[in-house]
Each structure stands twice: as structure tokens, then as C-alpha cells.
A and B are shown apart, each in its own frame.
Chain A
Amino acid sequence: MSPDWSAEPVPVPYADLTDPQTLNLYNYERGNPMSHADPDGHCPDGICVNIATMSPAAVDRQAQNTTQVLIGEFKGAVNMFTSTVNLVLSGGTQVPGTGIPQLQPSNEAQAVGITAFNGQVIGAGAIEGGVAASEFVAGRIAEAAVPDANIVVRGGAGEMPAPGTTISGSHGATVEEAAQGVPHGQIRTSTAGDVRGAGGSVRSAPEATRSGAINQKHVNIREGTKQPSTFSPPKPNPVPKKDRIT
């Protein structure tokens, strides 16, 4: 029987080109089915997102939606994740009726839109159980929402905070796009890839402004310990003041 050469090639869904194992369509749970579950048949623990075919805006929306779904799904399933619970313990309270330590949403969990949806903080107690696991997922998604090629802007001419400090910034496909997300007249620029290459992280973290708009460009930046900083010296913000976030 000859192959059907008329068939159109189809991209491998859920592939991550930085992880060749994801291209193997006949692999299940990376060959470790005892340690993982795959409820939707795509990725270990069902945590992947098919972002290869999505626009950046769609990735951003997916990051927000998926995280909310995940947090919902993981609620009550915290027993599965006791090994990671200790990472995010906050205080001595417990999830009511479970005896399970109460968890607190991390920067990353909120970074993918929990605060941005309604402009209010969802604090300790609002999200129960499983946040440690969804935090891991949220972190990956929030990173994916800021591609390596994206420009990252830090507002102001002041000295860069110490490496390892999580600071605010803005991202975009161009300097102009990124620079809209900060109010400053002076900016420093880098790329998400350069920050990560130096051991740091850049994560999407939409935030509500005082006017109630959502600053979708806001990112949490943590510079790695490799020095010097990957950010440029201060330079004028090319975006007119009226077009910047306020």
C-alpha cells in the first residue's frame, strides 16, 4: 500500500520546539505513566497549551483563561501535590474542612490575569488548594505569553534594582509598543530572551490602572545574577506622553 502523497502536511499540535520529545506522537507521559496522568491526551498532567497556532493576543487570553480553569480543576485536589505545598505555605491556617494548609496565590498565579479580570486582589483564602501546582503551570504560561523576541522596557532613569528582585516593566513586539505600557519619559530596554538568557525571568502580569483600564503590557521582571544588566542605559521614551499608560 503506497502512502497518500496527496495529504496535506499537518503541524504537530501541542509541539514545543524547545522540547523535541513533544514531537513524538507515539510517546505517552514521556514514558513515565506511573508518575503522571494525561487527562486530555496531549501533555503530561494535561498542563500544555497549544500556543503554536495562536496569536500573541490569543496566547495572552489563553494564559488567563487556562489558569482560571486550572485553579478550578486543581481545587480540592491538593493531596496530589503535597510535595510542592511547602513552596507556597503562608501562615498556619488551613483550608476549611480539609486539614490542608491554606495557600496564598503567588505573583505568578495572579500575574496571568487573576487580578486583572476585576481589578481587585484575590487574596489568601479566595483560592484554595492546588495553587502550588497551578502556580507552576501559571508560571510557564505567563512566560510563554512573553516571547523571547519581545522588547522589555523598564521605566525611569534610576538605577536598576538588585538582581533577583522582582520588578515591573512592560513588553511588546517593538520598543514603541512596549514603551506604551510605562508612564515614564525615560526607559531602559532589553529583550525577554536576553533577560532569560542571563538567568532571569519575564512573565506577563496584566494589572488594572487607577482609571480601571487593564494594562495588558505589564510584566514581572526578575533579572538574573549574571552581570552586567541586560537593560540598556536610559533613553527617551519614543511614545508621546498622551499615548502612554496612566
Chain B
Amino acid sequence: MNHTTRIVYREFYDVPRMIIVSHCGLKLLLDCKFDESLDEYPTAYKVYALPLEVDESTLRSWDKLPQEATKYLGEIPVGQVIFDSTKRAEIDTASLDTLLAGQAS
């Protein structure tokens, strides 16, 4: 892991399925919600930009967070997100950088 950033998360199944991370001045939400039709978790996170003023620590439920997003940024395959050894504390920022670079171009 080259550059890492701290995460907070909800819903853990093999990996965190709902992650909030601050990166490049943005507050990002990575959401991999269980898909009833697939009967499985999807293979990619949907990535949203959240308003900076959202304070997830005060929210009991994160269910509505995707609706509060200011922008949908795209998807990152779950397999491309590199976690620390606990899978719960940090992620490598490379996958975020790739997504954001694609947005800028």
C-alpha cells in the first residue's frame, strides 16, 4: 500500500460494504449494497461525493446517505480496493485516484 487513508464503515461482509473516506478534499461514499436479485453483494462499489458537512458519526442510520450525495462519480470494482490487513481501518488511495482522474479528464 503506497498511500493510504483512514476509513469509517458500516456493514461488513468479507470487506466493508459501506465506506466513507475523505480524499482530495472530498468526502466520498463507497456503497456496495446487497443485491436481492443477485442474492449476492455486487462486484463494485458505487462511489458518491457527499456534502462535506455530513457528519456520519452523528447518524444512527446510513441508509439514506446515497440520496444525500451531491454527485455520483462512478464505480470501483471491489477487488481493486486494497485494504489494510484488518480490512477495517485503511484503504489504499490508488483506486480512488484512478476514479477521480477519470472524472477530471
Q: Which residues of A are in contact with B by a Cβ distance under 8 Å?
A: 90, 104-107, 110, 115, 119-124, 155-158, 161, 167-168, 182-186, 205, 207-212, 218, 241, 246
Contacts and interface: CB of A to CB of B under 8 A. Distances in A.
B90 A168 contact: no
B31 to A, nearest CB: 9
B39 interface: yes
B34 A121 contact: no
Contacts of A211: 60-63
B86 to A, nearest CB: 5
A241 B13 CA distance: 17
A121 B8 contact: yes
A170 to B, nearest CB: 10
B8 A183 contact: no
B53 interface: no
B6 interface: yes
Interface in B46-97: 57, 59-63, 84-90
Interface centre among B6, B13, B63, B84 (most CB of A within 10 A): B13
Grouping DSSP codes into helix (H, G, I), strand (E, B) and loop, the B interface class, with mixed when no group exceeds half, is: loop
A65 B27 CA distance: 33
A7 to B, nearest CB: 50
6 contacts: A90-B84, A121-B7, A121-B89, A185-B39, A208-B10, A208-B12
A98 B61 CA distance: 39
A124 B89 contact: yes
Contacts of B17: 210
A107 B40 CA distance: 23
Nearest to B17: A210
> 5 smallest A-B Cβ distances: which pairs?
A123-B89, A207-B12, A212-B60, A168-B13, A210-B10
Interface of B: 6-14, 17-18, 33-34, 36, 39-40, 57, 59-63, 84-90
Chain A interface main SS type: loop
A184 B60 CA distance: 24
A156 B43 CA distance: 14
Given A110-B86, A122-B89, A183-B34, 11 more contacts: A90-B85, A104-B89, A115-B12, A115-B88, A121-B6, A121-B88, A123-B7, A157-B39, A168-B13, A207-B12, A212-B10
B48 to A, nearest CB: 14
Contacts of B59: 212
A156 B90 contact: no
A106 B86 CA distance: 5
A160 to B, nearest CB: 12
Contacts of A120: 8, 57
Contacts of A90: 84-85
Given A115-B88, A168-B13, A207-B12, A212 B61 contact: yes
